[in-house]
Structures are given as structure tokens and as C-alpha cells.
């Protein structure tokens, strides 16, 4: 099913990217830009959970939706991390690791699917934890201020971003280790 309610929600994450970037070009106070961008990211990131829930609840799961969902997540995360680098709120090295891992694991999954071994690189809890930490770090860094006058979101956002980097590397190693036996078997 190409266009269902869950798939439409997934498309919103992709459509959100230029909107999120545009916020920083609007003639608004920096604090307002930061708040709007952080809230937009949170709302669009929540569609990831909601589209999966609706797909199961409405029995509208599809191969296209299963393909598009992680692509939308990766686009949203990578674009947001690049915005943060541009705003000098995230380290370029962290961005390279996060984006490089997404490209590498996507390519690995594609290759493993072609050789009929996609189960060996199926989504694992470590990948889900990495995504959760990233999705928490990014709005903190977009907000870039004191939340409720108590939480320094730039400080905690950077801590969480570097934790996401560690989880990114860990999950990449995990997926590579799962794939190597299949790869060795196919090469022989």
C-alpha cells in the first residue's frame, strides 16, 4: 500500500526536513527559532512511533512502509545533525560518525537482503537505544538553552549526542559481527 495513514505520517518526517531548516532563516529571535525547531523535531520524531502503531492497529503494514520508515528516520536525523553542525552546536566528528554509520548499515542491509540473509542484520535493541538517545539529544541541541530554568539543554544535548556516537559505533560493530559469518559463507 503506497499511501496509507501510516505511510503519510512517515512522509511527514521527510517533508519536515526543509521546514526544520527554514526555521533558522525566518526573521525570528534566536530563542524563538530554537524553540520552534525543537518542538517541530519532537512532533515529527513522534510520528515514527505513531505510524508503526497505526500500521499494526489498522492492519496497513506494507513492504513500502517498512522500506520508507527507516529512510525517513535517517533523513530526519542526518539533516538535523547537519543543521546542528552548521549552527556550531554539534561536533563535525560526531556528525560524520552518525551519518557514516547510517550509510554503512543501510548498504550492509541492502547487500544482505540481496544475498537472502537480511535476518542477520535485523533491527536490534542496541539500534533502537541509539535512535532513542539521538532523538533526545537533537531537540536538546536545537533548543540550546535553559529548559524550565533548570536543564542546560546544550550541555546535556552534547552529552547525549556523544553517548549516541558511542551507541552508533557499538551498534555498527554488532551488525557487522552478525553479518560477517554470512558474508564469509557466501564468499567461499
pLDDT at 62 over 90: no
179: cell is: 553479518
Q: What is the pLDDT of residue 97?
A: 96
Per-domain residue ranges of the chain: 5-187
Task: Tell me whether residue 129 is exposed, middle or buried, using C-beta atoms within 10 angstroms of its C-beta: 0 to 12, 13 to 18, 19 or more.
Answer: middle
Range in 63-72, 77-86, 149-158 the model is least confident about: 63-72
Maximum CA pair distance of the chain?
Answer: 61
Q: Summarize pLDDT for 23-53 with one digit per residue, the tens.
A: 999 999 999 999 999 999 999 999 888 888 8
Q: What is the pLDDT of residue 87?
A: 96
The CATH homologous superfamily to which domain 5-187 belongs is: CDP-alcohol phosphotransferase transmembrane (TM) domain (1.20.120.1760)
Instruction: For residue 144, give the 3-state DSSP assignment.
Output: coil
CB 129 within 8 A of CB 167: yes
As a whole-number percent, the residues of the chain with pLDDT over 90 amount to: 53
Q: Report yes or no: 100 and 88 within 8 Å, Cβ to Cβ.
A: no
Beta strands in the chain (DSSP E): 146-147, 151-152
Share of the chain above pLDDT 70, in %: 95
Residue 120: what pLDDT? 65
Strand 151-152 relative to strand 146-147, pairing: antiparallel
- What is the secondary structure of 21-61 as a DSSP string? HHHTTSSS-HHHHHHHHHHHHHHHHHHHHHHHHHHHHTT--
Q: What is the mean pLDDT of the chain?
A: 89
Report CA 102 to chain centroid distance, whole Å: 9
Contact 99, 81 (CB under 8 A): yes
Q: What cell numbers appear for 58 in the block?
A: 489498522
Amino acid at each position: 500500500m503506497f499511501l496509507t495513514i501510516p505511510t503519510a505520517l512517515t512522509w511527514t518526517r521527510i517533508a519536515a526536513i526543509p521546514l526544520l531548516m527554514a526555521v533558522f532563516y525566518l526573521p525570528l529571535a534566536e530563542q524563538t527559532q530554537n524553540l520552534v525547531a525543537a518542538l517541530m523535531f519532537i512532533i515529527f520524531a513522534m510520528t515514527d512511533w505513531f505510524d508503526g502503531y497505526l500500521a499494526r492497529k489498522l492492519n496497513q503494514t506494507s513492504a513500502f512502509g517498512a522500506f520508507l520508515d527507516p529512510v525517513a528516520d535517517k533523513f530526519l536525523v542526518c539533516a538535523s545533525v547537519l543543521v546542528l553542525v552548521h549552527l556550531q552546536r554539534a561536533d563535525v566528528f560526531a556528525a560524520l560518525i552518525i551519518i557514516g554509520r547510517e550509510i554503512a548499515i543501510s548498504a550492509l542491509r541492502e547487500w544482505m537482503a540481496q544475498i537472502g540473509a537480511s535476518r542477520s542484520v535485523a533491527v536490534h535493541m542496541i539500534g533502537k537505544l541509539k535512535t532513542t538517545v539521538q532523538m533526545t539529544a537533537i531537540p536538546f541541541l536545537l533548543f540550546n538553552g535553559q529548559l524550565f530554568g533548570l536543564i542546560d539543554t546544550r550541555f546535556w544535548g552534547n552529552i547525549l549526542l556523544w553517548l549516541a556516537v558511542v551507541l552508533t559505533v557499538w551498534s555498527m560493530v554488532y551488525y557487522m559481527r552478525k553479518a560477517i559469518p554470512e558474508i564469509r559463507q557466501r564468499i567461499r
